[in-house]
């Protein structure tokens, strides 16, 4: 079955014979997803230049307790490989044939000019199926925010690029200063010393001395990124949250608990 979607931003054709899954969201809405398995990859062609956003979910088994991680490989033009790791949890509103599925997780593909072939493969997962949906959508543009106090830089190699994080320890928070109204994006990664380690850590945020947010994550080492300047540390897969600040000046302090070290990246929308 060849399905072709044509939107204003470009053209995407799914060329593999993938069955469709109808996932119900709430009661009144349903969405079509393609089915990716270890035996059946998902092949598609895209005309660029454009951006493609790929939404993914996995079936959720009753015995699952806590978040689950699944990993895929994206092959472009039969040559370049990109490893994709996602962590998700059970969705309380989405089901397929009465069976629960996870919350969606997504990633972006930047498609250069011309027609390009892609193949998405399921690498590792706690289930044998991943549901995939495509959208022509560019990522929001964010820029890094530098700390207000001296902080140790962690140079992470991700998708062949250097991404700057800052190391945070329980006794050494990361401090940034912003002026609202403003929305910020905080990415955090626990740091480990061995690939077989795992752990639970918390991130707390104070604005002008008042607790604004506190979150707890279950972390596992990433197998796809590393620090160029700190080879003894292994970053976990990323966790992300957002914060909105009211008008005025804010001195924001980000602390961690539960691990000896973590990497934090703070971003603000590009103007």
Global model pTM greater than 0.75? no
Nearest to 56 by CA among 89, 104, 24, 22: 104
User: Domain 3-135, what architecture?
Assistant: Sandwich (2.60)
Instruction: Identify which of 242, 161, 235 has the alpha carbon closest to the alpha carbon of residue 205.
Output: 242
3-135 and 142-269: identical CATH topology = yes
Query: Of 183, 187, 182, which is closest to residue 203 (Cα–Cα)?
Result: 187
pLDDT at position 10:
52
pLDDT at residue 270 in the model? 87
Binned average pLDDT, 10 residues per bin, the chain of 271 residues = 35 70 61 91 94 95 88 93 89 85 93 95 95 92 92 90 95 96 96 92 96 92 91 93 94 97 96 77
Residue 248: left (phi > 0), alpha (psi -120 to 50), or beta? left
Reduced to 3 states, what is the DSSP secondary structure of residue 64? coil
Q: Report domain 142-269's class.
A: mainly beta
Tokens of 233: 């540390």
Distance, in Å, from the CA atom of 220 to the CA atom of 128, rounded to the nearest integer, reads 21
Q: Using CA atoms in the order 215, 217, 222, 228, what is the torsion angle rounded to 10 degrees?
A: 40
Going from N- to C-terminal start, the domains of the chain cover 3-135, 142-269
What pLDDT, on the 0 to 100 scale, is given for residue 65? 83
Q: Burial level of 135, CB count in 10 A (0-12/13-18/19+)?
A: middle
pLDDT given for residue 158 in this prediction: 85
């Amino acid at each position: 079955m060849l399905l072709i979607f044509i939107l204003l931003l470009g053209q995407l054709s799914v060329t593999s014979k993938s069955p469709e899954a109808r996932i119900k969201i709430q009661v009144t809405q349903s969405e079509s997803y393609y089915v990716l398995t270890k035996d059946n990859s998902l092949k598609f062609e895209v005309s660029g230049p454009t951006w493609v956003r790929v939404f993914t979910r996995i079936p959720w088994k009753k015995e699952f307790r806590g978040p689950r991680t699944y990993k895929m490989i994206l092959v472009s033009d039969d040559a370049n490989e990109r490893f994709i790791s996602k962590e998700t949890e059970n969705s309380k509103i989405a089901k397929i044939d009465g069976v629960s599925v996870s919350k969606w997780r997504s990633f972006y593909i930047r498609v250069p000019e011309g027609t390009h072939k892609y193949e998405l493969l399921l690498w590792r997962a706690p289930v044998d199926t991943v549901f995939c949906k495509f959208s022509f959508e560019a990522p929001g543009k964010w820029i890094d925010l530098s700390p207000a106090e001296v902080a140790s830089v962690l140079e992470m190699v991700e998708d062949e690029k250097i991404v700057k994080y800052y190391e945070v320890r329980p006794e050494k928070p990361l401090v940034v200063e912003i002026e609202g109204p403003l929305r910020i994006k905080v990415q955090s990664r626990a740091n480990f010393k061995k690939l077989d380690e795992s752990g639970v850590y918390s991130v707390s945020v104070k604005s002008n001395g008042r607790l604004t947010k506190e979150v707890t994550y279950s972390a596992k080492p990433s197998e796809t990124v590393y620090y160029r300047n700190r080879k003894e540390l292994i970053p976990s897969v990323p966790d992300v949250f957002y914060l909105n600040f009211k008008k005025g000046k804010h001195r924001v302090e980000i602390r961690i608990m539960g691990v000896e070290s973590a990497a934090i990246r703070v971003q603000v929308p590009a103007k």
